[in-house]
Amino acid sequence: MTEQLRLMAVHAHPDDESSKGAATMAKYVSEGVDVLVVTCTGGERGSILNPKLQGDKYIEDNIHEVRRKEMDEAREILGVKQEWLGFVDSGLPEGDPLPPLPEGCFALEDVDHAAGELVRKIRSFRPQVITTYDENGGYPHPDHIMTHKITMVAFEGAADTEKYPEAEYGPAYQPLKVYYNQGFNRPRTEALHQAMLDRGLDSPYGEWLKRWDDSGHKDRTLTTYVPCADFFEIRDKALIAHRTQIDPDGGWFRVPLELQKEVWPTEEYELAKSLVATSLPEDDLFAGIRDNV
């Protein structure tokens, strides 16, 4: 009997799962892997980013409910399971100086307490592999940074029965690998940018690359390239389901799918911790695990 492969993707808000690693998840679902998205907050303080929906009073007054329904639709498209961690969106503070974070928000939670709620999910679902964000959150949103913090504590804490007693948090369990999503990386961005220019097309990445250069952006270490081009359409469909957050006519979708598949047919990750032997670079998040389950 072969044990079920299980992947848990820990994200800050509804829509993050569809913009970071979505094609990878859809690929693994198609192979029979059990995939669970854990969404830390309800996205209550998210702005309406789709200009076609801005000014819609119903959406503005019911943003939490609307975003839950969007998540339901995206979940069905991707074929994944999804659960809420139940924390409140912190919002993205803007200004100079930055305003304080709102009382009771996710980013102000005690890290060990919030990680304990994720420990419950890990011990119940028992994933061999977890994906999340790096210490910078992928970008410096306070909820993304907090998601990183609690995931790394929970990765270790799921097996720690002194810190998280089994009577309260469930039977101990140790995941084997944790990865950082690194889909927004320089090699991919430069390759797609140049491919667009070579074809005489307007690239959406010129300003993006310039901002990176001006800010002294430091490239991350890419360890794992998951081939998933056959699932790019599913990824985009799931992202469009988050219609308050995504303009289907916006920059996200300006690079033709066939060009993406030809030039950069993978999604990328950074292996942060592994308790199994593996050889880098990898093309599978379950490298070093498949043969042992």
- From the annotation, which residues make up the binding site for Zn(2+)? 13, 16, 144
Q: Is the peptide bond before 127 cis (omega within 30 degrees of 0)?
A: no
For residue 108, the SS3 value is helix
Q: Residues comprising the binding site? A: 13, 16, 144
172 exposed, middle or buried (CB, 10 Å; 0-12, 13-18, 19+)?
middle
Of 49, 41, 45, the C-alpha closest to 14 is 41
Q: For residues 29 and 206, give the distance between their C-alpha atoms in angstroms, rounded to a whole number.
A: 34
Q: Are 111 and 150 in contact (CB under 8 A)?
A: yes
The answer to whether 37 and 84 have CB atoms below 8 angstroms apart is no
Residues in CB range of 24: below 8 A, 6 or more apart: 226, 228, 231, 267, 285
Q: How distant is the alpha carbon of residue 94 from its chain centre?
A: 23
